[in-house]
Amino acid sequence: MTTDHSYLTYLGPSDPARPQPGRVADEDADRLESAVLTAYLAHLEAEGHQVVRHRVVTDPELASTDLFDATTDELVVACHRTHYLALIAAYGVVSDCARLFSRPRRAVLLTTAPGTFVRDFLSYHQIIAIWPENDAFARAEPEREGREP
């Protein structure tokens, strides 16, 4: 099934985050991303954030974002890999899905601490990096726009 336009569908508390429709099955990726999403959702809710679990429905071949933190207007997509092609895919998904929200801040939720390359890539594209660290979550905010490369 192909959709004429993207739209949001909301997930219930017991709906699994993974696997995403249309994505080739990858048990390790699904397990890691689902675990980090569950932990991040619990972390945000414990801090009193209003969080919406959703899936952006597009052409079935495309992935979707995972969470919208309405308290901070952050649109979040989970990504367990940090190689270049995975970052390009995460960048594309979170950027494309952002058009369905009113001026969201874009974020990529990683399963491990990002290296310099990943931080620089996300910062350049004005995307927040978030990852688990010491029973909490660390984050790297992007540098101001307009910096020289």
CB 104 within 8 A of CB 98: yes
| Dist. CA 67–CA 109, nearest whole Å | 10
Q: Any long-range contacts for 114-121 (C-beta under 8 Å, 24+ apart)?
A: 114/82, 114/140, 115/82, 117/82, 118/82, 118/87, 121/87, 121/91
Amino acid 63: pLDDT: 55
| Cβ neighbour number for residue 35 with a 10 Å cutoff | 16
**pTM summary value:** 0.81
The domains located in the chain, with CATH, are: 27-140 (3.40.1350.10)
Prior bond of 149 cis (ω within 30°): no
DSSP 99: G
Residues 6+ apart with CB under 8 A from 99: 6
* pLDDT tens, N- to C-terminus, the chain (149 residues): 445 676 667 676 666 666 665 566 677 877 888 889 889 999 999 999 998 877 666 665 555 667 889 899 999 988 888 788 888 988 988 888 888 888 899 999 999 999 999 999 999 999 999 999 998 999 999 987 655 55
So what's the pLDDT on residue 145? 65
- Distance separating alpha carbons of residues 40 and 17, to the nearest angstrom: 12
Which phi and psi (to 5°) does residue 24 adopt?
Answer: -60, 135
